[in-house]
Amino acid sequence: MKEEKKKNIQAPWADLKLSNEKLIKIYRDMLLIRRFEERAAQEYGKGKIGGFCHLYIGQEATGVGAIAPLREDDFIYTAYRDHGQAIARGMSSKGCMAELFGKVTGVSKGIGGSMHFYDLSKGFMGGWGIVGGHPPLAAGSAFATKYQGRDSVTICFMGEASTNQGVFHEILNMAMLWKLPIIFICENNGYGMGTAISRAMAGEHLFEKAAGYEMARGAVNGMDVIEMYREMSVAIERARKESLPTFLEARTYRFRGHSMSDPGQYRTKDEIDEYKKRDPIETFGSDLKQWNILSESAIEKLEEEIKAEVQEAVEFADASPQPSIDVLYDNVYA
């Protein structure tokens, strides 16, 4: 792969208007997600984090590449594997870690936990624990912004297994019928919990599920943050300018178990190692080095910075108070 690249006369991002700062930000976000979650896994092991915790490790390029081209007034919906996307949207690592710790300073004030991050001020609309439950909400938001005459775009992440729920088809049809400014990003990491996609899908190409609705669609290399960025830019333009939906299948892979309690016997170590060779952070890092955007020492500096940030997040979470009982009663009704 490397040699092939050396022959390239243009950087992979040459066709995109991406400043060096933006490129570095993209890299930094991916690295922050990775280190944040590695630390979360440790804290889970120590019992500081409870319940269910699904790591995004391996899939960072999908989330960061999809979110980076968005505007501040756009909306993001996702499922329970939400830490990475929240961080990519600029939610603070402190608030995210505190949520995992169940503290009042957490992004969901300790009420939601790992699966239910949100920040309405950033258009980050969750974090949803019922598989297939959130895409209709995303379509509803897209409907509303169109109705209100805003040119906001809504993006909706979902795992590939969620496309087996009937509601997936209900909402794709509606999104196309109503010409909604929405982008469905299906993160195909090959597995729904312990079930390989080959055992769960009739047909070969997942993105063709959108064909029945004649929706713009395609597959993207979700391990390549620049390719994600590029395809998303096209889809965002289509949504914003033409008010039309897109369905993108982002082909990716999770390096860790489905959740913290997954022994992973349904796949081989070889398979995991094969994908790790395509680690999205390492690949992008080496591209940035090759095109002199980041030096080795600059990368090391970033690592240091992020390590300190994650450490601070853990200390913040640890020192934060527990939510008070009152919050339980305060918000059941408006």
Partner 1 sequence: MANITYIEAISKGLWEEMERDKSVFLIGEDIGPFGGAFKVTKGFIQHFGEDRVVDTVLAETAILGAATGAAVVGMRPVAEIQFADFVTTGFSQLVNNTASIHYRWHVPCPMVVRLPSGAGIHGGPFHSRNPEAWFFHQPGLKIVAPSTPYDAKGLIKAAIRDNNPVLYLEHKRLYRHIKGEVPETDYIVEIGKGDVKREGRDISVITYGSMVHMALEAAEILQNEIGLSIEVLDLRSLMPLDTELIYSSVRKTGKVLIAHEDNITGGIGGEISALINENCFQYLDAPIKRIGAIDTPTPYSPPLEEFFLPNTKKVVVALKELAAF
Q: Quick one: how far is CA 110 from the chain centroid?
A: 21
CB of 191 to Mg ion, least distance (A): 5
Instruction: State the binding string over 190-219 for Mg ion (x if CB under 5 A, else -).
Output: --x---------------------------
133 is an interface residue for partner 1 by CB under 8 A? yes
Do 67 and 284 form a contact (C-beta atoms < 8 A)? no
169, 171, 125, 142: which is closest to 243 by C-alpha? 142
Q: Which stretch binds partner 1 (CB under 8 A): 27-35, 127-135, 138-146, 248-256?
A: 127-135
- Contact range with partner 1 by CB under 8 A, out of 66-74, 106-114, 146-154, 274-282: 106-114
Closest CB 159 distance from Mg ion, rounded Å? 4
- Report the partner that residue 266 touches, choosing among partner 1, Mg ion, ligand TPP, none (CB closer than 5 to 8 A by kind): partner 1
Q: Does position 308 bind partner 1 by CB under 8 A?
A: no
Q: In this structure, what is the dihedral angle of CA atoms 60, 233, 73, 241, given to the nearest 10 degrees? A: -160
Site string for Mg ion, 132-171 (x = CB under 5 A): ---------------------------xx-----------
- Answer yes or no whether residue 252 interacts with Mg ion by CB under 5 A: no
For residues 57 and 98, which CB has a smaller minimum distance to ligand TPP in the complex?
Answer: 57
CB atoms closer than 10 angstroms to residue 323: 16
Which residues form the interface with ligand TPP (CB under 6 A)? 81, 129-132, 159-162, 189, 191-193, 258
Under DSSP, is residue 154 helix (H, G, I), strand (E, B) or coil? strand
Instruction: Confirm or reject binding of residue 193 to partner 1 (CB under 8 A).
Output: yes
254: its two tokens: 């999770």
Under a CB-based contact definition with an 8 Å cutoff, are residues 93 and 32 in contact? Answer: yes
Q: Give 53: exposed, middle or buried? Use CB within 10 Å, 0-12, 13-18, 19+.
A: buried
CA distances from 285 to 1, 224, 229, 250, 279 (A): 14, 11, 16, 20, 10
Contact footprint for partner 1 (CB under 8 A): 50-52, 102-104, 108, 110-113, 115-116, 128-133, 161-162, 164-167, 192-195, 199-201, 265-266, 322-323, 325, 327-329, 332
